[in-house]
Amino acid sequence: MPEQVVVSEFLAAQRPRRADAARNFDALLAAAREAFAEQGAEASLEDIARRAGVGIGTLYRNFPTRRHLFEAVYANEIDELGLLAVELSAEPPWEALNDWLRRFVAYTLTKRAIRDALVAEESDIFLACRQSMYDAATPLLERAQRSGDVRPDMSTDDLLRLISGISSVAFPDDGQRDRVLAIALDGVRAKA
């Protein structure tokens, strides 16, 4: 059985120890996130290096292949969503879940191309990221269910599939996507 990948450990293992190299790594992740959001999975690696203010050799030293870069960007975003779930746990249950789900939708909209590339191969990091998403969402959902804000017959899998379905559809504008999301979230709420 393969060893389970933990997203935060994967990122920590990838990040260089030297301060200047770590800055370059972080700059490359930020530039790649931006480029992939704008141009999809086929964004130019040369453009990413230029945006990060480093040479292409530095990009390849940190990310030998496009896939390595995809995995690091994807894992970094998932890790941030996990940290957000912890931060939101102090908020009222419905607001915490609602805020996290809206951030989840924003994340999936910009990461669709990367996610699709990783899903096709079911990489270990993709599977770890998926588990991390469930680990982040479950406590928020359960707390909202215990408070009576969310219907009790919904599982984390139900909820994430519902929201992922919405974010996988192309909408003519953000307003329509937000309305559809609001309608879906109304269905998540417990009936009075």
What CATH number did the domain enclosing 121 receive? 1.10.357.10
Tokens coding 47: 């453009």
Does residue 174 lie in a domain region? yes
Q: Cα separation of 157 and 160, whole Å?
A: 5
- How many domains does the chain divide into? 1
What digits encode the pLDDT tens for the residues 48-78? 999 999 999 999 999 998 888 988 888 888 8
Residues 6 or more apart from 114 whose CB is under 8 A from it? 36, 41, 70, 73, 74
At residue 3 the predicted structure's pLDDT band, cuts being 50, 70 and 90, is very low
Task: Supply the range of the domain harboring residue 57.
Answer: 7-188
Asked if the structure places residue 77 within a domain, the reply is: yes
96 is a domain residue:
yes
Tens digit of pLDDT for each residue in 75-89?
888 888 888 999 999
pLDDT class of 2 with cuts at 50, 70, 90? very low
Residue 137, domain member (yes or no): yes
| Percent of the chain that is helix, strand, coil (3-state, to 5) | 75, 0, 25
* Nearest in space to 133 (alpha carbons), one of 85, 68, 188, 168: 85
pLDDT at 180 over 70: yes
Task: Report pTM.
Answer: 0.78
Residue 2 lies in a domain: no
- Residue 1 falls inside a structural domain: no
Flag whether 56 is in a domain: yes
Instruction: Please check whether residue 64 lies inside any domain of the structure.
Output: yes
Q: Which two tokens stand for residue 68?
A: 């390595």
